[in-house]
A and B are shown apart, each in its own frame.
Chain A
Amino acid sequence: MLAVPTACPFCSCGCGFHLLVGEGQLFGVAASQTHPVSGGQLCARGWSGHEAALWGDRLREPRLRRNGKQESVSWDEALAHVALRLKELVAAGKPVGVLGSSRATNEENYLAGKFARAGLATNNVGFSYYPICAPLLAGMEEVCGTPQPTLRLSEIASSQVILLVEGNLAETHPRAAGSVLKAVENGAHLITIGCRETQMARVASLQVQTTPGSEGEVMTELSDMIADLGRRAPSATVEKAAGIQSLETGDRTEALRQAAEWIVRAERAAFLIPPTCGQEDRQRNAAAAIVALAANSGHLDKPGSGILPLLARCNAKGACDMAVVHDRLPGYDRLDDAQSRQRLEDLWGKKLPSARGWDAETLLKSVSGLVIVADDPPSVMPKGQQATTALEKIEFLVVLDAFATPTARMAQALLPIASFAETEGTFTNAEARVQRLRPATTPPGEARPGWQVLADFCARFDAAATYRSASDVLREIGRAVPQYAGIQEQLSGDGWGGALLQCSRGRNPQTQVRATRTTDAESLTSTERPYLLVRDSGFDWGNDPFVSFSPTLSRDYRSQRRTFPHGFVEMAQDDADAIGLRGGRQVKLISVHGQAVVPIQVRRDLQRGLLFVPYAFRDHVSGVLGPDSIAAVRVESA
């Protein structure tokens, strides 16, 4: 039995575990008591972390599509063909692009970006989770000048106040949720802001109910109250609230005042923000407002306090740092940052393209040639069906992945790469901790490490690339991304030794948040369209290969999709009672954009007036939602 220490490939908490190997095959997972993030604990996903790599539909040999079929070929043939076809497209003046991924390693993402910029001379580069997290990062950047976290995961448990914008932390980031529970157990005040009575909301001291998309307004209110409190002595009447206090609109102001007092009085306060929903402008504003609140209350750069953005996937942060993003350069620097540009041109020995690339959505629709590294746009992007249609139309689609995802099945050239369990590389978690992956077994069939394949691409396109190992790539990353300088040396030891990137602790935060230009979601409703249809801001784990290929983890999701082949929309119990609807009944949803017929599921934890679409079922109502993730609708029984 061999126990190989490696980083967990699921959410962005970045736990660590040992992969257990016997006779060359993975058979289990063992937690690590010495890991700085997980400390002997794991969530359900982590405990089944070995399953996808072992049980999954793995890609074993390179394939090229001929006569409509993906036929297996040699690596040499596949690589030569890919290079030839891409060069033909470029020579014909057709647009090409590259997608990295929030589940690919830093090394893979870095080389994907380098290949696009130095090899294909384009900034058409992205990853499909970016449209979801970009407004959050932009909001943070607006206030701090950078989207870096200022709180470490380990600091949550000792916080005295935790302000959580609640998606569903217990499900999205169980490790962080565990720390929140620990803090509450130790007497911390948990304030949740959201539209559902989730598990975290049930254990909170204060639950602030909001309409999705109006989190920013609550933050601004809280900021104003904190400014007020600064002008007078804190009232003596605020006592530690016992139990749960759910808020009616009437005493909302009083409750927010109490929250403001808790925040001001706390020595250590944690602010946890996931991507929210609603118009991009409002999402950006909500993020900016919460960071401004942290700054106004003095918690942005205090030791033990700070903000932590909760991105869904293990390496979403790394993908941003490596800039598989159409308008950024490695280091998440702006495209027009002359210094950064010069540094990269010197390093790569190539003149870099200066025009902005297309964002992921436009890119999919517009390119003729596309290289996708371990990404599956139909299951990740807000408009999944649209992504599928776009991918089908791409003239030459190259996919590098370890798993047979829907995207992989559409590829003209399919290149099998090693999964997290078989490769070297690094992930950067939500708190900016860079951690090593260590190969526990050999990749199946002829699959190769992704960095090797991408290095080969770079070489064929005259972008210098002589790496003997993933560590060599990381060493180069250290020169391309100033924050990663020296990381390779720090990670070379035997132990967990994750390296924490320096987090900027709010340089001169800009605490006046500019007002949103968009209207708030609630005012969209009218007597004609009294309900708000809201798309979950989350992430569809059920379609992620690490879950869908795990026998233990996929059961719930599979069953749900089988039981509801046409999806469903969730409705509050009181609303359903009022119109006399029962769970399972079909309803017709009508908005200004269009209509759809879907079954409803009745929920007790949902706020009245809202209809909630799980992210997995978003495509069933995409015509009703229109361009946004929130729309006012009328409900008719169908």
Chain B
Amino acid sequence: MAFAIEKNAVSGWLERLLQLGEVIAPTRTPSGDVLFSNIRSAAEVTWDLPNPLHPPKEFVLPQTDPIVQIKRNGKQHEVEAIHDGRRRFLVNTRSCDVKGIAFLTRMHEMEPADASYLRRSNNLTLISVACTTPCPLGFCICTDSGPFLSSSYDAQLTDLGQSYLVEVGSAKGEATVAEGQGLFRKATETEVSQRRELEEKARQSFGDQTCHFASAMRRISTGRVQDPLWQKMSDWCLECGGCNVVCPTCYCFSVKDLGRDGSWIRCRLRDSCQYAAFTLEASGHNPRAQRKYRMKRRFFHKVSAQYYSRDGAVGCVGCGRCVQVCLGATHMPAVVSAIRKGNWHE
């Protein structure tokens, strides 16, 4: 069922959510950047900001993620899990990021399930805003992750001018709307059809930014991308790992203990499959010592039919962040295009 809320009532709703937990929304920093951060009052939320360069996966998979605490007790060691069960509301997030978190959750639910991740994601409510105009570098229509969603969100808002149409997609979403008792009303049929028109219009206004996954998938899955092409592409990668950091679906990590006054905190650290040492073995042997093999691995994971059939989606939500962040030139659309055409930069 769809609801509607007047724009001037939204801050009242957010104030109630602030009583229940952390409310996270894109905010403008003094330096002019847009970052997801905790807000202290509803007035801090600006609705028409561009999607932040950093995806909100930080709130389910922090760059430094404490997992367990290890304490020395005489000759024994005590190990205790660190729980982050804080309730969080992610407000004004975009469709691509909702799909990104859905992707991460699906992966972390697979056996053996990741309790630490799931504790965070179970307590996270996604209140997204559908995109009525595509962002300049986004290609979410190629990955079925926008501009509007039909699933994965807890609540999806559509900007109708004076009000928001609110679609509820889960029990968490229902509960969140229930918190705004008295602020929501049933949406009219006109409002529902208005939303449909906006979605159609948004789809039609996508520009040239496309990503032809299908043909790249055929070639990658059947090993038909020649080694020299990977070699050539890898000369245009500066191994910064930025694509991994900002990718809403990347989750690679390493583990390290942080020592503090006789106890240790075992942390999961965000890592990148593009770093030479990511697959470095204790013997000094590295199965993917050359960058071209690391690149091949990354795109096999993202685009191959093998992973597509496991995950039910390509490992890309079309947000276009890697296009912005790539220090070299080997972002998703560029590599997919090179694989499709069989050559690079010619």
Contacts and interface: CB of A to CB of B under 8 A. Distances in A.
Interface of A: 1-3, 5, 18, 20, 22, 26-35, 40-44, 46-47, 50, 54-55, 170, 174-175, 177-178, 181-182, 185, 199, 202-203, 494-496, 551-552, 555-556, 559, 562-563
Contact of B238 (A181, A202, A551): A181
Contacts of B325: 31, 40-42
Nearest to B34: A33
B271 A552 contact: yes
Contacts of B269: 551-552
B31 interface: yes
Interface stretch (B58-66, B103-111, B123-131, B295-303): B58-66
Contacts of B235: 199, 202-203
Given A551-B269, A552-B254, A43 B37 contact: no
B240 A41 contact: yes
Contact of A54 (B29, B254, B258, B345): B258
Nearest to B291: A199
A181 B64 contact: no
B187 interface: no
Interface stretch (B3-11, B139-147, B218-226, B273-281): B273-281
Contacts of A47: 240-242, 245, 272
Given A27-B62, A185-B345, A559-B280, A174 B324 contact: no
Given A28-B62, A29-B63, A551 B256 contact: yes
A436 to B, nearest CB: 11
B240 A42 contact: yes
A555 B277 CA distance: 6
Contact of B277 (A27, A177, A495, A559): A559
B238 A170 contact: yes
A453 to B, nearest CB: 25
B238 A43 contact: yes
Contacts of B239: 44, 170
For the complex of A and B, the 9 pairs showing the least CB-CB separation, nearest first, are A28-B63, A555-B277, A494-B30, A27-B64, A563-B284, A178-B327, A34-B32, A551-B256, A556-B277
Given A43-B240, A181-B329, 17 more contacts: A5-B30, A18-B29, A26-B64, A27-B63, A28-B270, A31-B325, A34-B31, A41-B240, A41-B326, A42-B240, A42-B325, A43-B238, A55-B256, A178-B327, A552-B275, A555-B275, A555-B280
B236 interface: yes
A141 B339 CA distance: 49
Contacts of A563: 284
A5 B31 contact: yes
Given A1-B38, A42-B327, A177-B238, A556 B33 contact: no
Contacts of A552: 254, 269, 271, 275
Contacts of A203: 235-236
A18 B242 contact: no
A173 to B, nearest CB: 10
Interface of B: 29-35, 37-38, 53-54, 58, 62-64, 235-236, 238-242, 245-246, 254, 256, 258, 269-272, 275-277, 280, 284, 324-329, 345
B31 A495 contact: yes
Nearest to A177: B238
A3 B29 contact: yes
A29 B32 CA distance: 16
From DSSP, what is the main secondary structure of chain A's interface residues? mixed
A46 B238 CA distance: 13
A44 B275 contact: yes
From DSSP, what is the main secondary structure of chain B's interface residues? loop
Nearest to B236: A181
A18 B33 contact: yes
A30 B35 contact: yes
A46 B31 CA distance: 18
A15 B299 CA distance: 28
Contact of A41 (B236, B276, B327): B327
A3 B37 contact: yes
Contact of A185 (B30, B63, B254, B329): B329
A18 B328 contact: no
Contacts of B29: 3, 5, 18
B53 A31 contact: yes
B242 A41 contact: yes
Contacts of B53: 30-31, 33, 40
Most interface-central of A2, A185, A559 (chain B CB within 10 A): A559
A40 B242 CA distance: 10
B238 A178 contact: yes
Contacts of A556: 275-277, 280
Contacts of A495: 30-32
Nearest to A563: B284
A30 B327 CA distance: 15
Given A42-B240, A47-B242, A55 B35 contact: no
Contacts of B270: 28
A56 to B, nearest CB: 11
Contacts of A3: 29, 33, 35, 37
B197 to A, nearest CB: 32
B79 to A, nearest CB: 20
Nearest to B278: A555
A205 to B, nearest CB: 13
B91 to A, nearest CB: 15
Contacts of A42: 240, 242, 325, 327
Contacts of B329: 181-182, 185
Contact of B328 (A5, A20, A181, A555): A181
B160 to A, nearest CB: 30
Given A54-B258, A563-B284, A28 B64 contact: yes
A459 B308 CA distance: 68
A33 B324 contact: yes
A227 to B, nearest CB: 34
Contacts of B64: 26-28, 50, 54
A28 to B, nearest CB: 3
Most interface-central of A22, A44, A178, A556 (chain B CB within 10 A): A44
Contacts of B256: 55, 551
B11 to A, nearest CB: 21
Nearest to A39: B324
Nearest to B64: A27
A46 B328 CA distance: 15
Nearest to A496: B31
Most interface-central of B53, B63, B236 (chain A CB within 10 A): B63
Contacts of B32: 34, 495
A181 B334 CA distance: 14
Contacts of A34: 31-33
Nearest to A558: B277
A32 B242 CA distance: 12
Nearest to B275: A44
A34 B235 CA distance: 27
B54 to A, nearest CB: 5
Contacts of B241: 44, 47
Contacts of B284: 559, 562-563
A174 B327 contact: yes
